[in-house]
Each structure stands twice: as structure tokens, then as C-alpha cells.
């Protein structure tokens, strides 16, 4: 009973476990992959704006998978990110659908502009 009440407030506990597991996997990687994966993780938290928990968890599990595989294979960081790490991270994030915080603001902007246009037409 208490777990359902807590999940109602904070979201599914299983998602939190999966997220923490993915983050632990990143933190356990050898250098320089750990630094690169942590930097990308941080950037995605700020840039991604994903509000759907399942999508967010899947993105971070895939991020851990990507960098773990690169570390195991000995793939250089530059071969993963290319010359533009920002472009790589943003392309990575865009491949995950899901609702984003900006979607709500876009809808709010469209509604406000449409309302302003209607007022203008009545004048």
C-alpha cells in the first residue's frame, strides 16, 4: 500500500532502479569513456527535456550500453562522438520520442498567439 502511494507522488520505483543501475554502470567505466559518458549524461539531463519516465530510462540505459560497448571494444571517444559532441548528443536525444517539457510551452505559445489574433480580428 505504501509503495503505491509513494509511486503516485514520485513515479514508478522500478524506473528509478533502472536509472540508478544505468548511472552506476557509467560510473564504473574505465577512463576516458567514463568522463565522456558522464558528460553526455549531464548534457542529456539538461537538453533532453524528456518528461516520460519510460523514455528517459530507456535513453539512459542505451547511453550506458553505448559507452560500455565502446569501452570494452576499445573504441576511441572521438569515433563515438565525432568532431561535434553537441551534435552527437542532440541527435542521440532526438531519437527518443516521448513528451518533452517544451511541448507544453509550444502549445501554450500557439494558444496565446491564436488568442491575440482573434482579439485583433474583433477590433
Per-residue pLDDT 10s for the chain (123 aa) are 556 655 555 567 899 999 999 999 999 999 999 999 999 999 998 887 777 888 889 999 999 999 999 999 999 999 999 999 999 999 999 888 766 777 788 888 999 999 999 988 887
The greatest distance separating any two alpha carbons of the chain, rounded to the nearest whole angstrom, comes to 67
pLDDT, residue 13, reads: 86
Domain ranges of the chain: 2-122
**Chain CA centroid to CA 116, Å:** 34
pLDDT, residue 102, reads: 76
Reading the block at residue 8, the C-alpha cell is: 503516485
Whether residue 32 is preceded by a cis peptide bond, meaning omega within 30 degrees of 0, is: yes
> pTM of the predicted model, to two decimals?
0.75
pLDDT, residue 10, reads: 56
pLDDT, residue 25, reads: 98
pLDDT, residue 3, reads: 60
Q: Please, are residues 54 and 88 in contact by the beta-carbon 8 Å criterion? A: no
Among 100, 87, 27, which residue's Cα sits nearest to residue 59? 100
pLDDT, residue 78, reads: 96
pLDDT, residue 51, reads: 74
DSSP assignment string, 12-70: -HHHHHHHHHHHHHHHTSPTTHHHHHHHHHHHHHHH--B--HHHHHHHHHHHHHHHHHH
Among 25, 24, 13, 93, which residue's Cα sits nearest to residue 53? 13
| List of residues 6+ apart from 71 with CB closer than 8 A | 29, 30, 33, 34
Amino acid at each position: 500500500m505504501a509503495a503505491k502511494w509513494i509511486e503516485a507522488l514520485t513515479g514508478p520505483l522500478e524506473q528509478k532502479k533502472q536509472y540508478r543501475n544505468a548511472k552506476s554502470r557509467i560510473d564504473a567505466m574505465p577512463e576516458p569513456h567514463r568522463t565522456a559518458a558522464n558528460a553526455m549524461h549531464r548534457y542529456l539531463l539538461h537538453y533532453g527535456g524528456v518528461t516520460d519516465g519510460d523514455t528517459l530510462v530507456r535513453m539512459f540505459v542505451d547511453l550506458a550500453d553505448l559507452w560500455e560497448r565502446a569501452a570494452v571494444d576499445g573504441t576511441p571517444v572521438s569515433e563515438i562522438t565525432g568532431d561535434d559532441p553537441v551534435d552527437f548528443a542532440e541527435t542521440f536525444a532526438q531519437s527518443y520520442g516521448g513528451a518533452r517539457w517544451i511541448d507544453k510551452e509550444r502549445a501554450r505559445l500557439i494558444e496565446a498567439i491564436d488568442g491575440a489574433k482573434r482579439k485583433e480580428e474583433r477590433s
